[in-house]
């Protein structure tokens, strides 16, 4: 799968480091400040947020630089304000327009082809994928600082004032100039806020009936004169400027991880859905048909990185030949592995989705075994199967008639492939006694051998082109639990492991993440703000 989620440009709107909605802190605002507040709001400008992503491994819809436009909506009595925002991305032949207005978030997906007969557009309601409640406090609680550095680079602010703040646990340094705007510097993002002379309007087709179904995710929040000064470029009224806190110089440094164990060769096995077969291991995942992403420089414990490319369309995880290939490839990685006893040593084996089931079943069937020097890292393994297989069979049999745009893009077309039949849910209506028994054996091997696991409790994930289809999968497929990554439920991924082993921080060996199925295959990127959405950082700090 690709990379894009109906979560409003987590970066972009989060960069809305500003205000979703605001009103004065009436209890603490003095008359002179209230007059200033009303005057400032009467002339509040529209804003352009120019965003630069500093991590070379991170792009939003293929872009590392983009703009977010924000328009102020001021009450008739000039006492409250909220911002509507929009940002547009074009990736391949698809346009993604993210909108936050009237307290709701949504994304419109459309083709950019000039052929009217082939154009289409779909609206997706979005949850609050950024911690809106933290935005206003971030500006309300800025601290004046004399100097700052970010990632070892000194922040220069010759014509403005330096501030430090924390947004959703992430530190930022702000350089504010009353004349031109302000810039927020973080380790992974730089955001320049420019005051605009005219209002910017997004042009989208009428979706009024659909938009009305989207939940409200933004609400008014108290705001201080300091925050309004940053949003308007006005100098603070003297009482407020005297109350502004001052602090020592600030240095924001990267949180990097080094290998804590013995470096070893790494092999990555993708999951279901790749029609290509290669007899040789690959240096990149390009031939996996977007079933695995590139781990890049997030693998400090890997002395070498190889990707297996195996046909996982025409055979399922119980196939003897498929399991043999998994074992043979893994055995080839280290000279200390024993071919005679089929023992895999001194190797890091990484599996995603059905790849985890195939390896577990291979171990259960005695085709190979792992020594203590080998670490098996599993992501999104459907150890009890997936309701995606069941619902696709229902569709192909004419039993599921609900037409939902994007569902077949996620599940594939009829007839149901052998591989998808192999993941019918354990003890479900399409399962068999033989399949149920194979699941039980694989689960036992999984629990006894897996070193670390990532299982997701949310299908929202990070912003990517995969977001629309994963949002559909998470909401339309009749999963047995809302805790799923669009295709695999958290309880299925557990495979009988104790859920208390799992934590929601990327430093947890057993990671209860909030990522969709594409995110867990390293096809997207880490979140900028949430520790529960950092798959790359998790792998980097794991071993």
Percent of all residues in the chain with a pLDDT value above 70, rounded to a whole number: 84
Query: SS in 3 state form for 367-387?
Result: CCEECCCCEEEEECCCECECH
pLDDT of residue 245: 61
- pLDDT tens per residue, range 122-166: 888 887 655 545 666 777 778 889 999 999 999 999 878 899 988
Q: Which residues of 208-220 are buried (b: 16+ CB within 10 A; e: fewer)?
A: eeebeebeebbeb
- Whether the pLDDT of residue 4 is over 70: the answer is no
Q: 86 CB contacts (<8 Å, ≥6 apart)? A: 68, 69, 97, 98, 99, 100, 101, 200, 202
pLDDT band at 408 (very low <50, low <70, confident <90, very high): confident
- Note the pLDDT of residue 226: 77
pLDDT score for 11: 39
Q: Please say if the pLDDT value at position 34 is more than 80.
A: no
User: For residue 322, what is the enclosing H or E element?
Assistant: helix 320-331
User: 109 pLDDT band (50/70/90 cuts)?
Assistant: confident
At 277, the pLDDT band (50, 70, 90 cuts) reads very high
Res. 19: pLDDT tops 70:
no
Question: Which two three-digit tokens encode residue 463?
Answer: 């912003």
Residue 356, pLDDT > 90, answer: yes
Determine the average pLDDT of the residues in 219-239. 71
Give yes or no for a cis peptide into 262 (omega within 30° of 0): no
- Any idea what DSSP says for residue 57? T
Residue 250 pLDDT > 50 = yes
Phi-psi group of 522: left, alpha or beta (phi > 0 → left; psi -120 to 50 → alpha; rest → beta) = left
Would the pTM count as exceeding 0.75?
yes
Question: Closest Cα to residue 11, out of 227, 223, 168?
Answer: 168
CA distance 84 to 101: 4
Specify the higher pLDDT residue, 21 or 221.
221
Q: Enter the DSSP assignment of 476.
A: H
pLDDT exceeds cutoff 60 at 202 = yes
Average pLDDT over residues 207-233: 75
Residue 161 CA to residue 176 CA, distance in Å, equals: 5
The whole-number average pLDDT for the span 287-296 is: 96
Q: What is the mean pLDDT of the chain?
A: 86
Contact of 61 with 465, CB cutoff 8 Å: yes
Least confident stretch, 24-33, 55-64, 203-212: 24-33
Tokens encoding 448:
């006894």
**Taking 50 as the threshold, does the pLDDT of residue 8 lie above it?**
no
Three-state secondary structure readout of 279-306: CCCECCCHHHCCCCCCCCCCCCCEEEEE
State residue 20's pLDDT score.
40
Q: In this predicted model, which residue has the larger pLDDT, 366 or 36? A: 366
Q: Lowest-confidence range among 1-10, 87-96, 294-303, 428-437? A: 1-10
Average the pLDDT over 484-497 and give the result: 98
Q: Which residue has the higher pLDDT, 9 or 502?
A: 502
Q: Per residue in 301-332, pLDDT tens?
A: 999 999 999 999 999 999 999 999 999 999 99
Instruction: Name the residue ranges covered by the structural domains of the chain.
Output: 10-131+177-236, 264-385+434-455+489-540
Residue 209 has pLDDT above 70, yes or no: no
Long-range contacts of range 97-101, CB-CB < 8 Å, 24 or more positions apart? 97/202, 97/204, 98/8, 98/9, 98/12, 98/13, 98/126, 99/8, 99/202, 99/204, 100/8, 100/13, 100/16, 100/20, 100/218
């Amino acid at each position: 799968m690709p990379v894009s989620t109906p979560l409003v440009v987590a970066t972009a709107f989060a960069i809305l480091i500003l205000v979703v909605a605001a009103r004065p802190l009436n209890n603490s605002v003095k008359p002179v400040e209230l007059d200033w507040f009303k005057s400032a709001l009467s002339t509040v400008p529209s804003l352009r947020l120019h965003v630069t992503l500093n991590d070379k491994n991170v792009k939003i819809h293929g872009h590392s630089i983009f703009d977010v436009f924000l328009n102020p909506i001021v009450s008739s009595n000039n006492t409250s304000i909220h911002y509507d925002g929009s940002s547009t991305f074009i990736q391949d032949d698809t346009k993604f327009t993210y909108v936050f207005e009237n307290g709701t978030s949504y994304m419109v997906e459309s083709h950019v082809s000039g052929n009217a007969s082939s154009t289409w557009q779909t609206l997706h309601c979005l949850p609050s994928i950024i911690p809106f409640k933290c935005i206003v406090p971030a500006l309300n609680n800025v601290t004046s600082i004399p100097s700052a550095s970010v990632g070892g680079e000194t922040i220069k602010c010759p014509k403005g004032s330096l501030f430090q703040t924390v947004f959703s646990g992430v530190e930022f340094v702000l350089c504010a100039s009353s004349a031109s705007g302000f810039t927020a510097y973080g380790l992974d993002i730089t955001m320049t806020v420019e005051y605009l002379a005219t209002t910017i309007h997004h042009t989208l087709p009428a979706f009024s009936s659909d938009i009305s179904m989207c939940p409200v995710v933004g609400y008014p929040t108290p705001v201080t004169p300091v925050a309004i000064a940053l949003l308007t470029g006005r100098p603070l009224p003297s009482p407020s400027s005297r109350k502004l806190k001052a602090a020592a110089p600030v240095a924001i440094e990267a949180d990097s991880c080094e290998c804590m164990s013995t470096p070893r060769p790494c092999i990555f096995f993708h999951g279901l859905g790749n029609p290509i077969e290669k007899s040789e291991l690959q240096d990149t995942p390009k031939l996996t048909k977007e079933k695995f992403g590139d781990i890049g420089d997030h693998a400090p414990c890997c002395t070498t990185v190889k990707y297996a490319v195996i046909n996982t369309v025409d055979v399922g995880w119980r196939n003897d030949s498929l399991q043999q290939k998994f074992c043979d490839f893994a055995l080839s990685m280290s000279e200390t592995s024993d071919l005679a006893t089929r023992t895999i040593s001194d190797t890091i084996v990484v599996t995603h989705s059905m790849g985890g089931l195939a390896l577990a079943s291979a171990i259960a069937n005695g085709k190979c075994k792992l020594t203590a020097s080998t670490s098996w890292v599993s992501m999104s393994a459907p150890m009890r199967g997936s309701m995606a297989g069941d619902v696709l069979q229902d569709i192909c049999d004419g039993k599921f008639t609900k037409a939902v745009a994007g569902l077949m893009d996620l599940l594939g077309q009829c007839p149901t492939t052998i591989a998808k039949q192999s993941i019918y849910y354990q003890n479900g209506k399409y399962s068999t006694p033989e399949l149920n028994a194979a699941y039980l054996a694989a689960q036992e091997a999984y629990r006894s051998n897996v070193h670390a696991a990532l299982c997701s409790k949310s299908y929202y994930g990070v912003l990517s082109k995969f977001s629309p289809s994963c949002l559909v999968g998470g909401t339309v497929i009749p999963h047995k639990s809302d805790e799923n990554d669009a295709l695999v439920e958290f309880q299925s991924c557990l495979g009988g492991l104790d859920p208390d082993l799992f934590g929601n921080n990327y430093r947890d060996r057993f990671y209860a993440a909030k990522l969709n199925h594409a995110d867990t295959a390293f096809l997207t990127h880490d979140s900028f703000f949430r520790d529960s959405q950092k798959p790359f950082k998790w792998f980097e700090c794991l071993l």
